[in-house]
Amino acid sequence: MILPNVRASFGRAEAALVVALVTRGEEAARAREEDRVREEGFDALLDDPRTLNALMASGGITAAPAPLVFYLLVRHALLEGGVRNRTLADYLAAVLLHFGRRERTYRVDEDDPHEFFYLADVLEAIEASDGHRAFLLRAHLGEFALWLSGLFPDFVAARVERRSAPGIAYYEELGAAGFRMAAGSAYAEAYGMDGVYRRCADGFPELRVSLNRVADRHLFPVRGDRIGRLLRQVTDELRTHKRATPD
């Protein structure tokens, strides 16, 4: 299962890299930022808008290790949307890292032999399962729906146009349902994930829009129907501003 453990993997090497990116070799600036990290913690520097700007100016998503890059992209996209909870950023970054591996994308776990290419297949498997596997499938339903609608909204829109396939609302509904079902499991409480899943269920649209920002700006900046993308972005901004965001 996927846990919010990306931040816990950061150590001195990541801190030194971020300080170097932000200060660009200036000794006085480096000393100030190192003092800041010692006094306020690494999170203060990770949350600084200069950090993401420095990363993108220094080679973009190839300028640092993937866990650090994805955490920064997700964290700042969430902050822009008013979502300040670091655990949510940690969890979403972990989801992107796990789903970025081909053997994990369509499976509940790397070692699981069953592949699920559609949300409907996951739903069917949930109905036929119980216990711990049912819990994993429920969490996977939420994660899979968020990954698809968050990183590939243009693909979802194209499928709607070509095949009359379900739109974003379908992914939001099933994704939120998956997280909500997972949150209600005793296994979620045992893993300390009940609160995380509940926040994902309650704030699924806001989280999806934040991941759309990551995809539109950094992963696929020139792909898809630009007019359709702009209309989606405007619609999402108007819609999410009317909703309360998860903390």
> What per-residue confidence (pLDDT) applies to 242?
60
Mean pLDDT (whole number) for 123-133: 96
> What per-residue confidence (pLDDT) applies to 138?
98
Rounded to the nearest 5 degrees, what angle is found at the Cα of 96, between the Cα atoms of 177 and 117? Answer: 60
Does the CA dihedral 160-148-104-214 come out positive or negative? positive
d(CA 71, CA 110): 22
Mean pLDDT (whole number) for 94-112: 89
d(CA 74, CA 93): 6
Interval 23-48: pLDDT, tens: 998 999 999 999 999 999 999 999 99
Interval 47-60: pLDDT, tens: 999 999 999 998 87
d(CA 108, CA 41): 34
| Global pTM value | 0.89
CB 198 within 8 A of CB 180: yes
Interval 205-247: pLDDT, tens: 999 999 999 999 998 886 656 666 666 665 666 666 666 555 6
DSSP symbol at 220: S
Does residue 97 register a pLDDT over 80?
Answer: yes
Mean pLDDT (whole number) for 78-102: 95
DSSP symbol at 219: I
The pLDDT mean for the chain works out to: 91
The pLDDT confidence band at residue 189, using thresholds 50, 70 and 90, is very high
> What per-residue confidence (pLDDT) applies to 204?
98
> What per-residue confidence (pLDDT) applies to 87?
98
Mean pLDDT (whole number) for 95-124: 91
> What per-residue confidence (pLDDT) applies to 232?
63
The pLDDT confidence band at residue 61, using thresholds 50, 70 and 90, is confident
> What per-residue confidence (pLDDT) applies to 235?
64
Interval 7-18: pLDDT, tens: 999 999 999 999
> What per-residue confidence (pLDDT) applies to 205?
96
